[in-house]
Amino acid sequence: MSGVIGTGGHIDHGKTALVAALTGEDTDRLPEEKRRGISIDLGFSAIEIGGVRHGIVDVPGHEDFIRNMLAGATGIDVLLLVVAADEGVMPQTREHIAIARLLEIPAAVVALTKADLVEEEWLALVRDDVASFLADTPYADAPLVPVASPGGQGVEALRVELGRALGEPRRAADDLFRLPVDRAFTVKGTGTVVTGTVWSGTLDREASVRIEPDGTTARVRGLQVHGTDVDRVSAGDRAAVALSGVDRTAVMRGTTLVTDPAWRAASILTARIRVLEGSEWTVEQRQRVRIHVATAEVMGRVRLLDATRLGPGEEGWAQLRLEALLVARAGDRVVIRSYSPVTTIAGGVIAEPAASKRKRLDPQAVAWLAARAGGDPTEAVLAAVRQAGPAGIPVETLPLETGVRPSLSAAALERQEIIITAGRAFPAAAGEAALRDLTDAVDAHHRRWPLRVGMEMEELRRAAAGAAALVQWGLDRLIADGILESRDGLIARAGFHPDLDPEQHRRVEAVLTVLERAGAAPPDAAEIAAAAGGGGDPFEELLRYLESEGLAVRIQPGLYLHRRVVDGLIAAVREGLRGRTALGPADFRGIIDVSRKHLIPILEYLDQAGVTVRHGDGRSVPAAPAEV
């Protein structure tokens, strides 16, 4: 797997000439670059070290072009810091190192260019100057190699040091594919072409890609790595991707090619940020800034979460509320530049790549965010799941929400602290709470409505906190464990049965007597209520009980028949009319001797019960009727 080297350093310190000496290629490609003799935009080349071809990104050094430098610096593995021996450390040298630190570029090699133009004594002074400058940075041990690009002095020694710095591959091919676009152009006969460093995963020719943040889709018609056609590009490759089905205007620097459906663009990022030491700037509440993530630059405002301001060298949690969407992932580095005048002032690491608005953080949230921003993979996944709580988090989004590649994320989900159901992950504590909520709700229902068989499913779901998937998991678990049971769609404690007290038993018998005497002509509500000892909730509960126990049948709201009466009607209709069709109310009147007022509700009930079948204005009685 190849790596990416990125140049950095002050204007006119010889970066492009050095790259040409290392690779044999001139990365200045724009006419204005040729005319002015400086790099305005990004230049790309390839270098072979130890039989492996690595990419080189030659970024501009002039202060006006720092924005382009950021687009190239994100995604590099080794910083090739270029310092001219006749000038030493200069302002853009310092800013490029500051940006490298903010982006956490893992290694650096220093090339002391134009070494042939100075005396040995002066070169020693410059070497000491650079070493002193780097002493308080992560690059204090970076090798310093004097070179003279025109004559090739020191170039091979520099190549060796670059190989050592690249070391083992740092990028994961078994990850979600992502390529932040740093160039986009049109090639005659090919169409739209984009270039960038493959940050993670792999991409095959003929694959479909999505261009974020707009979500436009395209097909990969061709792939190149350092000018060579390939069928697949992998993490760490400098790739050119030819796209079909998309116009050049739909893809530009700052967009991102992805393939997995879980990627999503967002307008709020939660990040741990630090203001540069020695900066003349502070970060204030709601300050408007330029936010750089990968190759994207977006305007936005800073919402500090644990401070009112951050001074030089200070750090804290903040939300970056963007004026345009971008794609990010937990663990991504962010660089913050002032709105005007434009200079780098802060940077940090993203913990929530698609956040909801926050106003403040409690200690528990801080711990979770810190784990997500770059902790142990298992701890990062656990933190994201715990932070989601009873709402849960889609399993497919965890690699993005934690920065952990899918295989490690899946391994973390196997821990007992996590519940997986319906494609979502929940903390075990949320599952235990759901179990308690469900059993408590059923118990409370039994206490309030002792004559009801059980609780309606929807009512029970509303009583438990958490996503629908978690509540269903809890319900299934309680039923499987024999704690609850389902009876015709009602949920009850296992073994529960309505228990009538003597007074209720007396009232039940009184109502049943009224219903049985009424026969097929349902008594009105007032007559039943009088028998039950009054109306209101007790009366309604009594009727519910009779219906649930199968002692009475509700043929319409407010109209009840005794069960034995209904059984007799069904038997009589089947016996007298089985197999007949085009039956009208008069045909049934010969069997069910009631007025039309009561006959029509009874017939409608028989339709619902499958005893009769409606055909327009008539009915039939099937020869083999369904069981009621």
Structure tokens at 560: 């009840």
* Lowest mean pLDDT across 146-150, 177-181, 433-437, 563-567: 146-150
d(CA 460, CA 619): 40
Tell me if 494 sits within 8 A of 482, measured CB to CB: yes
Buried b / exposed e over 324-362, threshold 16 CB at 10 Å, is ebbbbbbbbbbbbbbeeeebbbbbbbbbbbbbeebeebe
CATH number of 502-620, picked from 1.10.420.10, 1.10.10.10, 3.40.309.10, 3.40.980.10 = 1.10.10.10
d(CA 493, CA 450): 12
One fold for 266-361 and 502-620 = no
What pLDDT score was predicted for residue 38? 33
What pLDDT score was predicted for residue 44? 66
Instruction: Return the sign of the alpha-carbon dihedral for residues 15, 20, 23, 26.
Output: positive
CATH of domain 178-258: 2.40.30.10
Cross-strand bridge partners of residue 258: 178, 210
Average predicted confidence (pLDDT) for the chain: 86
Neighbours of 215 (CB within 10 A): 12
Residue pLDDT, tens place only, 73-105: 456 788 999 999 999 999 888 888 888 888 788
Cross-strand bridge partners of residue 200: 178
**Mean pLDDT along residues 282-286:** 96
Placement of tokens 């310093």 in the chain: 144
The domain segmentation of the chain, as residue ranges, is 4-166, 178-258, 266-361, 374-499, 502-620
d(CA 194, CA 256): 10
**Mean pLDDT along residues 455-467:** 88
- Would you call 187 exposed, middle or buried from its count of C-beta atoms within 10 A (0-12, 13-18, 19+)? exposed
CATH of domain 266-361: 2.40.30.10
CATH of domain 374-499: 1.10.10.10
Tell me if 444 sits within 8 A of 452, measured CB to CB: no
Q: Name residue 117's amino acid.
A: L
Backbone angles phi, psi at 302, to 5 degrees: -95, 130
Residue pLDDT, tens place only, 507-545: 888 888 888 888 998 887 777 777 766 655 567 778 888
Hey, is 243 helix, strand or coil?
A: strand
Placement of tokens 């609850």 in the chain: 484
d(CA 383, CA 41): 40
Q: How far apart are the first and last CA of the chain?
A: 71
What pLDDT score was predicted for residue 32? 40
* Residue 144 clears pLDDT 90, i.e. is over it: yes
CATH number of 4-166, picked from 3.40.50.300, 3.40.710.10, 3.30.429.10, 3.60.21.10 = 3.40.50.300
Residue pLDDT, tens place only, 393-423: 999 999 999 999 999 999 999 887 899 999 9
Q: How confident is the model at residue 28 (pLDDT cuts 50, 70, 90)?
A: very low
**Mean pLDDT along residues 331-348:** 89
Strand 4-9 versus strand 52-58 pairing type:
parallel
Hey, is 543 helix, strand or coil?
A: helix
Instruction: Label each residue of 419-457 as H, E or C.
Output: EEECCEEEEHHHHHHHHHHHHHHHHHHHHHCCCCCCEEH
Task: Report the percentage of the chain scoring pLDDT > 90.
Answer: 51
Structure tokens at 442: 């059923």
What pLDDT score was predicted for residue 168? 66
Residue pLDDT, tens place only, 163-206: 899 886 666 678 999 999 988 888 888 889 998 888 889 999 99
- Would you call 47 exposed, middle or buried from its count of C-beta atoms within 10 A (0-12, 13-18, 19+)? buried
In angstroms, what CA-CA distances link 358 with 269, 303, 306, 318, 319? 10, 9, 11, 9, 7
- Would you call 279 exposed, middle or buried from its count of C-beta atoms within 10 A (0-12, 13-18, 19+)? middle
Structural element, H or E, at residue 187: strand 183-187
Backbone angles phi, psi at 522, to 5 degrees: -55, 135
What pLDDT score was predicted for residue 542? 80
